[in-house]
Structure 1
Amino acid sequence: MARRPDATGKNVAKSRGKSVTSAKAAPASRRAANAEQPAEDQPKVEKAAAPKAPAKPRRAAKAAPRTTPETAAGTVGGTQTPEPATPELATPEPANLRDPDLAPVATEPAAVQRLAENIERIEALGHRLMSALAERNLPNPGVEGPGPDLYLTAANAFLKTLAEHPAKMIETQVAFWGQTLSNYAQAQQALATGQVSGDDEDGLADRRFANPLWRTHPYFNLIRRQYLTNARALREAADSLELPDQIARRRVDWMTSQIIDMMAPTNFLATNPDALERAVQTEGESLVKGLENLVRDVEQHGGEMIVSLADRRAFTVGENIGTAPGTVVHRAPLFELIQYTPTTPKAHALPLLVFPPWINKFYILDLKPQNSMIRWLVDQGHTLFVVSWRNPDASMAETGMEDYVTAYLEAMDRVLALTGQARLNAVGYCIAGTTLSLTLALLKQRGDTRVNSATLFTTLTDFSDQGEFTSFLQDDFVGGIDAEVQRHGLLRAQLMSRTMSFLRANDLVWGPAIRSYMLGETPPAFDLLFWNGDSTNLPGRMAMQYLRGLCQQNAFAGEGFELMGHRLHLSDVTVPLCAVACEGDHIAPWTDCWRGVAQMGGADRTFILSQSGHVAGIVNPPTRRKYGHYLSEGGFDGGWEAWREAASFDEGSWWPSWGRWLADRAGPMVDARDPGEGLEPAPGRYVHDRAG
């Protein structure tokens, strides 16, 4: 049968669609000989061995040489590349051959094509990233890190320790060198023997080192050991410093922890086995997707590198989150008032008004039907009103704490008018609880008895112990915030979110960044994290009043906080009160919450301690039974230790315990109140305003 020339002028046997491995192949000895030949020699051997005029076409090709970078393009020195030897490596037949009888021409492997495409995508993404980073505002050193005072304090303490205890410093340094040499010696032994010693489990309980390669691979095992050695050395060095006061100690410890967390090997591609494995498995696609995620985050945050914690496309407020039926019954420049539709024929006579924090959106109390506190309260027979705060812009720069207290009073007036009642019960969450306490003290001094009882969720009113916020509440950082306020008129949401995130950097900064930027994962569709990323701005005047007067000066628990012509004290809060704090709360530590309540002046005070943290401890519905709570008859005279010692533990949610307390103070049952059409359906319009 005649052969037709191919594009290179070589004779190619006509193909009948047979598999290259299923027909009569060359003898095994010849295949073995070919396989042992160097790649550049095999085409010549094949050409010499092939008969010039075979009687009939061959149905199988000879064994292919191993693919090399030179053969990937299809030719080696102008000679046609042999066909692949196995089906999985075979290049698909092109669909646009002019003659279907022609054998397929070798084409570029799919992996190489994908690599070229990824390189093009990386180049385009790189240009976008540079453009996005150029949009960043001029940095403000005051909020980028500690001021020079901290570094000077640490340097003086180091020099003092070196001068007074030189032997101790040298001993510590020699011990560090010795441990480092030991790590390298073990790594060399592991490389020589191919086996890593399994007797060292140090650090393996850390979730960052969950990959087995940290234990079994000599390189990664060395990286892990040395990182832990460095971390111990840094902590010991910081602990050995003789610092002037507790504030300096907390700031140095916090800064040391930030450095240790930042330098973790998991934060770098070359020393992260999970990221390297994913890159190999996806032929680099994970790194390209990670760069896409990085560019998206920088573009969304005006040039700032703030990692997205949740997939924003997964939720829409009012559609699959924040969906409790209700009506906007009042709108003011600072807030909307929502009344929720009753689900019971009867309701308590006294209405319930909830003030959520304006640092975030109110739908934290209405994430999903199964964990919605708003739905649960309506089901308990309460006429429920919730404030939805406006997300401030620069036009509200001069809005102060007095404006928020005035808004509290306006919301109360409206609720009482709509229900025909003279009194109501109020709830304040976080900073809204602090402001509710100020409002209650103001009403006390005015002789106004409209609030029948109050509930505080994770509320700080005594700031004598600044806890984990110590580093952020010193003059250098607060001065930096003041400069931000002067520039923008606001304490911007992204700065506040970043500050909060670095209190739990591994969970809220580095971990999400690794998953998003190195592994190329889409942020999770998690309602709580979605809400966490929907932060709001704070008006400049209000932010500085809060930071200076309440946090730094602790005026409310001390000499008195000046507001609206009154000097307000914690002892002025005398209404029946229930306070709920969370055992694992790092934003409002429960002992600090307890200390504020202990200084209030009322005789009727109840304290509930929930398990878990600032949000999960509050959004803890009875159906989950995940976190329990503590109740105590210990009172407030013996300190929080005595209160905790006398406490009893309940495995269920605290909601029913609070519900019983609230029902006793909510009045008799009356016909449920329908909010009517109002201005528009819940959740209203203010909740949709995002921080710019």
Structure 2
Amino acid sequence: MTDSEGTKGTGMPDMEAYAAFVSDAAGKSQQMIEEFLESQPTEVRSALDPMNLTPAILDLTRKMVADPNAFMRNQISFFEDYLKLVDASARRMAGMETMPVIEPTKGDKRFKAAGWSEQAPFDFIKQSYLLASRYIMQMVSNVHGLDPKEARKVEFFTKQMVDAASPSNFLLTNPEAIQATIESKGENLVRGMQHLLDDFQRNEGMPLVKMVDDSKFAVGENLATTPGKVVFRNRLFELIQYSPTTKDVYATPIVIFPPWINKFYILDLSAEKSFVSWAVAQGFTVFIVSWVNPDASYADCDIATYVNEGFLEAITVVQEITGEPSVHAVGYCVAGTILSMVLAYLHAEGREGIVKSATFFTAQVDFSEAGDLSVFIDDEQLALIDRMMTEKGYLDKRAMALTFNMLRSNDLIWSYVVNNYLMGREPMAFDLLYWNCDSTNLPRAFHKQYLNWMYKSNALVEPGAIEIMGQPIDLTSVETPCYIQAGREDHIAPPRSVFKITEQFQGPMRFVLAGSGHIAGVVNPPAANKYQYWTNDNRYKGFDAFLDGATETLGSWWPDWAAWLGTRSGKKVPAREPGKGPHKALEDAPGSYVKVKS
């Protein structure tokens, strides 16, 4: 029996005729869009489509047109589910008990208010949206034959539109917002409008919602309070040496290189959450780099600048202060990526011995399976970013913040739209959110190189494709012992991507998979008794093999790291007081650079 015969007398459309109609209509629509865009100057096309979505969407349309039966099947599936919802809602209206046709996924906080379930009309709106969302995402993800990068881009930006269309984001379809409006006689909306105006003025028109009550925090007072001294300063960074809390310390010091897209105190948020304070308590001499927040005068600072004036300079100063020939280097995120280049550079120079071990927190070197940030990388978007940076000499911190917020738009954009604008509430006081909003600018030269070398070309894993100060960078030459940490739920540096470090380096390595994501997976003090981590002491090849033989341990991975590092840190020596060596104290920690706002 044909599809056409199977639909006769059922009230359903003739599938073949309908498919032909859809194919014809889609083809004509595609032709009109292509002709319109081709008629526009390049600068107009860029303004109309800054994310360069059009080629991906047109390719998606072509593939859908090529398989109209699949499109029809998706339509019918959605129609059937929607009829079930209408039937269930009608029976509920009649006083009968019904089961939901669809429910929010685990972790979806948009519909947690009681009104979404207890009030039938809003329950219907919620489920209608969830069905439509599922249908749209399935329709996009089930199209075969798309270039993987294009497919990921289409899925990502489709998800952005689906999230934006949630009924929770609109006054008339949000029961909690309606109730607040009635109870406050509209005062919530007046406050919300004022919040919107404040955000608009503060961010010079950029769509960034205030996420935290910043009046409750001050760096050096209730953030970044671990005692220490600034013992060195150049134009790129301040070096902080922390005061010891033990009588003796390991001989080999630690120098931490945090990412410079945010400030260092993510590793020193509070006494309870401070990684540096905990490391000091384990008997290590700890230094940390506090990067400058660059302005236009730093426009020409590139990756080599950060390697030479940042990493190598900091290591040299730590050697001079401690008298030790080598250090333990720690690189977090982008700093970990650059640390891998430093190790390869030192090997090429014959000086690899100055780094006794390297620790990588959520860092990538092979970007072939990089996270969601890769959807922002193509020639057109890179050109747009470069034009933005050329105007100022740097990438404005707000542009970077908006990009990262889009990676988790429901949590980092729309939840605050609802809280601040619809409900008229003030954002809460939360140290992690304060740090997240206290971001920094990025020098034009550095950011341009990083995006092109890493995300676009994936050049770091090609031996000799990159040169730093005349030395070819070959990661396969690195034999330094390495501790590599990844976050199981990391959307910025996915664990499978982080694991690829182990496929480049040649020395002894320990890979640890931590519970949670890019931040909470790193900042997880033992006292919190949260999450878990996985290790595998067997021989394995590949991330899947690591998982298959991994052992789960509850709690923080910090003690595992300290034990690994302790065996490589030499004998104990008398504790070192900051400022007592050849580099005198310039000021108390956390220093001055960290307090500079963009």
Runs of 4+ deviating beyond 6 Å: none
Question: In 2, distance between residues paired with 1:175 and 1:201?
Answer: 13
SS at match of 1:153: helix
Equivalent residue in structure 1 for 2:175, among 273, 278, 301: 273
CA gap 1:657/1:172 in 2 versus in 1, 3 angstroms: closer
Runs (5+) with no aligned partner, structure 1: 1-137
Distance in 2 (alpha carbons) for counterparts of 1:142 and 1:357: 33
Partner of 2:344: 441
| Residue aligned with 1:370, SS | coil
- The secondary structure found in structure 1 opposite 2:479 is coil
Deviation at 1:679, TM superposition (A): 0.8
Q: In the alignment, what sits opposite 2:196?
A: 294
Structure 1 position 517 matched with structure 2 position 424? no
TM-fit CA distance, 1:139? 13
Q: Does 1:500 align with 2:409?
A: no
**Alpha-carbon distance change, 236 to 413 in structure 1, aligned in 2, over 3 angstroms:** closer
- Structure 2 contact 91–97 (Cα < 8 Å) conserved: no
How far apart in 2 are the matches of 1:358 and 1:535?
9
The secondary structure found in structure 1 opposite 2:460 is coil
Amino acid at match of 2:468: L
Partners in 2 of 1:500 and 1:545 — Cα distance? 19
* Greater share of helix: 2
> Partner of 2:567 in structure 1?
664
CA gap of 1:278–1:546, structure 2 versus 1, over 3 A, is: same
Q: Distance in 2 between matches of 1:151 and 1:276?
A: 37
Does structure 1 residue 203 correspond to structure 2 residue 103? yes
Using a 3 Å threshold, how does the CA distance of structure 1 residues 236 and 594 change in structure 2: closer, same or farther?
Answer: closer
- Give the SS at the match of 1:428: strand
Q: 1:119-167 CA deviation, whole Å, 9 max, x = no partner?
A: xxxxxxxxxxxxxxxxxxx9974985334222222222233233xx3xx
Deviation at 1:239, TM superposition (A): 3.3
TM-score, normalisation: structure 1? 0.76
Which of residues 324, 333, 354 is equivalent to 1:450? 354
**3-state SS of paired residue (1:415):** helix
The 2-side partners of 1:376 and 1:601 are apart by: 30
Distance 2:151 2:45 in 1: 27
| Deviation of 1:262 (Å) | 1.0
For 1:670 and 1:289, the matched residues in 2 are separated by 59
Q: 1:157 aligns with which of 63, 66, 70?
A: 63
Q: 1:432 to 1:240 in 2, by over 3 A?
A: closer
Conserved 8 A contact 1:340-1:675: yes
Segments of structure 2 that go 5 or more residues without pairing to the other structure are 1-43
Tell me which residue corresponds to 2:490: 585
Partner of 1:219: 121
Task: Return the letter of the residue paired with 2:126.
Answer: R
User: 1:369 is paired with a residue of what secondary structure?
Assistant: coil
Match of 1:282, as an amino acid? S
Offset from partner CA, 1:37-69 (integer Å, 9 cap, x none): xxxxxxxxxxxxxxxxxxxxxxxxxxxxxxxxx
Residues 198, 215 of structure 1: 8 Å contact kept: no
Q: What's 1:344 paired with?
A: 246
Q: Which amino acid aligns with 1:371?
A: K
**Aligned residues of 1:143 and 1:480 also touching (Cα < 8 A):** no
Q: 1:186 offset after TM fit, Å?
A: 5.7
Aligned residue in 1 for 2:467? 562
1:385 aligned residue: 287
**Aligned equivalents of 1:366, 1:161: Cα separation in 2:** 55
Question: Is 1:143–1:481's contact at 8 Å kept on the other side of the alignment?
Answer: no
For 2:216, which of 310, 314, 321 is the aligned residue?
314
Amino acid of the structure 2 residue aligned with 1:483: R
Q: 1:140, 1:484 within 8 Å by CA — same for their partners in 2?
A: no
Q: Distance in 2 between matches of 1:437 and 1:666?
A: 20
Q: What is the aligned-residue identity percentage?
A: 38
Matching of residue 413 in structure 1 with residue 319 in structure 2: no
Q: Is 1:685 matched with 2:592?
A: yes
Q: Summarize the alignment of residues 327-342 of structure 1 with structure 2, pairs less than 5 Å apart.
A: 327-342=229-244
TM-score normalised by L of structure 2: 0.87
Matched, 1:363 2:265: yes
Deviation at 1:522, TM superposition (A): 1.4
In the alignment, is the contact (CA less than 8 A) between 2:327 and 2:355 conserved in 1? yes
Offset at residue 178 of structure 1 (A): 5.5
Q: Give the deviation of 1:180 after TM superposition.
A: 4.6
Alignment partners' CA distance in 2, 1:373 and 1:171: 53
Q: Which amino acid counterpart does residue 235 of structure 1 have in structure 2?
A: M
Which shows bigger deviation, 259-268 or 198-207? 198-207
2:490 is paired with a residue whose SS is coil
SS at match of 2:459: coil
Instruction: Note if 1:239 corresponds to 2:102.
Output: no
Change (3 A) 1:314 1:361: same
Instruction: State the alpha-carbon separation in 2 of the partners of residues 626 and 284 from structure 1.
Output: 41
State which drifts further: 557-566 or 393-402. 557-566
Compute the displacement of 1:171 (Å): 4.7
AA partner of residue 66 (structure 2): K
